[in-house]
Structure 1
Amino acid sequence: MANADARGRLRRPDGGPLRVLVVDDEPTLAELLTMALRYEGWEVRSAGDGLGAVRAARDFRPDAVVLDMMLPDIDGLEVLRRLRGDEPDVPVLFLTAKDSVEDRITGLTAGGDDYVTKPFSLEEVVARLRGLMRRAARSDTRPDSLLVVGDLVMDEDSHEVRRGGDEITLTATEFELLRFLMRNPRRVLSKAQILDRVWNYDFGGQANVVELYVSYLRKKIDAGRSPMIHTLRGAGYVLRPGD
């Protein structure tokens, strides 16, 4: 999805600028985001409603999407569903209201890769997008290999995950988090380490994102089985084979 040029700037595999679709019904905010992303050298298109976003995505084929949860026609979750129907792996960064915890949890559970809360800094949005696209690039270029911890098996090339032979469906961010845990079995990983490796930004008030995603993984990996993901209070998380 993205490669880095000699100066470390992210580019499309063909060398062209990365494409970002901005979806927000506040024209001023959409314009500010567009200017900030273009300053990064990226190609940007914007849409002010959900249906317009779906049409724009099909024409523009973005490498990432900045998507407001609240839109005047269909909401961000429905836009996400339709986008993923066409491009299953496109990274999506949700914009949510500061006091809307339910929106953030719902958006991430539905398959969003990350979120920022309004009001936010433009620098934060750019940093999150860089992280999402670098993560997607790593996933695209990883050679064939299997990770195995106990009865949990991950195929890094096909992105298939199975436990005890049962297939487990993960979002892109859940997959990257589990991959980090499986590459470090029995090793305690702090929230700061996980944020740096999986989300690519510094630790600072974002620990709740790690907690949310660990809880999502537990529901998928450990549900009805011997638990593999363990919390060490005050230290972090560790993946160990189930009993």
Structure 2
Amino acid sequence: MINQILVVDDEKGIANAIAYALRREGYEVDTAYNGNIALEKAGQLSSFIMILDIMMPEKDGYIVCRELRKMQSKQIGIILLTAKNDIVDKVLGLELGADDYVTKPFDIRELLARVNSLARRLSDRDMKSSDILQVGSLTIAKSQRNAIIDGDQLTLTPKEFDLLVLLFSNQERVFSREELLELIWGDDYYGGTRTVDIHIQRLRKKLGMGGQHMLKTVYKIGYKASVRE
């Protein structure tokens, strides 16, 4: 679950009080007292939640929120803090990409509950996205043990599916036949490496014209998955 929090408020007393409460909950917390420093610190983090005051000098919370949503490679949750009770301000914040908002003055227990809830939602979203492996026109849903290429569902045996996931989860890595045999079939399997060759041949056939070229034979070594032409 996401554990890093960045608290941003130009009122240092409020920011530090929130940070103290969050640290007692077990979160790793940093603070920033203006929008510029907030964005600078956000650039050094990967997955985090920002508790962001709207009314700040220089760059206000709306500008910071807009800039954060441009960081598409990051998993970021945003909770806005606002002294205003105007629905227009709240709607604007949500439209700019905020996940939630709390109106000042607030009960710290409510803020903690919202942080915990958002952290769980982001973690669930992260798990779902990591479950899907997209490689060109090939889509692999790991937990559902389902693979689709060019809109057509593949009918795979359990070992074929495991082999597909292993190779495409480690693109460009070359696996020897012995490695694949050990990783997919296990130490207690007494068949030869010809088993691997047969399964690769079957996979290529099932992937068809849209995907068979992505399974490469590495001469005298083994196989790898690659989307490079």
TM-score by length of 2: 0.54
Provide the aligned C-alpha RMSD in A.
2.1
Q: Which has the larger radius of gyration?
A: 2
Equivalenced residues, count: 132
Partner of 2:51: 66
Q: CA offsets per residue over residues 122-153 of structure 1, 9 Å max, x none?
A: 111111011111001111112449xxxxxxxx
Contact 2:49 2:78 (C-alpha < 8 Å) held by counterparts: yes
Among residues 129, 132, 136, which one is paired with 2:118 in the alignment?
A: 132
Partner of 2:4: 19
TM-score by length of 1: 0.51
Structure 1 57/104 Cα, relative in aligned 2: closer, same or farther at 3 Å? same
Structure 1 residue runs of 4 or more that deviate by more than 4 Å after TM superposition: none
Contact 2:48 2:75 (C-alpha < 8 Å) held by counterparts: no
Q: CA offsets per residue over residues 82-125 of structure 1, 9 Å max, x none?
A: 12222554110000124332211100111100000000011111
Partner of 1:113: 99
Partner of 1:34: 19
Structure 1 62/136 Cα, relative in aligned 2: closer, same or farther at 3 Å? closer
More helix by share: 2
Partner of 2:34: 49
The letter of the residue matching 2:118 is: L
In the TM superposition, what are the counterparts of 1:153-168 in structure 2 within 5 Å?
none
CA displacement at 1:54 relative to structure 2 = 0.2
Identity score, percent: 39
Contact 1:69 1:103 (C-alpha < 8 Å) held by counterparts: no
Name the SS of the counterpart of 1:44 in structure 2.
strand
Among residues 83, 86, 90, which one is paired with 1:104 in the alignment?
A: 90
